[in-house]
Amino acid sequence: MLSPKKVRHRKVMKQSRHLRGVETRGTKVAFGDYGLMAVDAKWITNRQIEAARVAMNRYLKRGGKIWIRIFPDKPLTKKPAEVRMGKGKGSPELWVAEVRSGRIMYEVKGVPEETAKEAFRLASAKLPVKTKFVARQNY
């Protein structure tokens, strides 16, 4: 699973207002020939990122190269089940990446367009955001 080696703050505030608007960085296909773009904004967990990567790798059968352009750097905390209110914030349980619309999440190079489309379709089934297939030449 993806997670940071070191963080400045162990627990952070949720602040869902960061997910408003459109992405300004990471909106163009930079490394590969084809990309998977997020159409809406959501939190994506490290498990979902890994599940989408595994689905793409299985379909591509180690052909071509895959880039993951998002990283889960925000910790989410949870309190244990059946615990009374109060007594502070829960312990960090999982890591999420904040993804806004327009962000390129995955890129692929070295495979035909139809193969890349099908790999991204399988990967998007594992993700909580609506996605769009984009090629390097058209945005």
Q: How far is CA 71 from CA 9, 105, 110, 117, in A?
A: 17, 9, 23, 22
pLDDT exceeds cutoff 60 at 138: no
CATH topology of domain 16-81+88-135: Aldehyde Oxidoreductase; domain 3 (3.90.1170)
Report pLDDT for 18. Answer: 78
Structure-token pair, residue 81: 């089940």
Structure-token pair, residue 67: 């880039």
**What does pLDDT average to over the chain?**
93
Distance of CA 94 to the CA centre of its chain: 14
In the structure, what pLDDT confidence band is assigned to residue 55 with cuts at 50, 70 and 90? very high
Q: What 3-state class would DSSP assign to 121?
A: helix
Q: Write the pLDDT tens digit of every residue in 76-95.
A: 999 999 999 999 999 999 99
